[in-house]
Amino acid sequence: MIGNDVEIGANSCVDRSTMGETRIGNQAKLDNKVHIGHNAEVGDGAVICGGVCLAGRTRVGKFAYIGGMTGISNQVSVGDGATVGAMSLLSKDVPPKGAVLGNPQRDHKEHFKVHAMLNRMCADRESKRKTKE
């Protein structure tokens, strides 16, 4: 079932379900090359960027934002108002108004802490290498 005022981009696919329904809520926006799996549910006002793949029975909440080239595993829920960063891989639920990114998925604050730590480690290694020369 596709709601009112829905935009679906070119080369997108919405799989029909064998039992039950695949639903796309009112005013949802799907960019190009989006795949919506069987029995998936996309909430009202959700925005799904290009190249996203939702596996079967996935639920995307109202006004959620899914960044481009993201994969969401079977039976995973993305809460209302949640944000998922581009090129992420989701295998666990995202709470309402949560923000996750990466592969494996991490809360956005944790992701940036790990990224900063790795940058420091690389800088330390580089400075040690230069002192040996």
| Catalytic sites, residue numbers | 38
State whether the Cα torsion 81-90-71-116 is positive or negative: positive
Q: Of the candidates 111, 33, 91, which has an alpha carbon nearest to the alpha carbon of residue 48?
A: 33
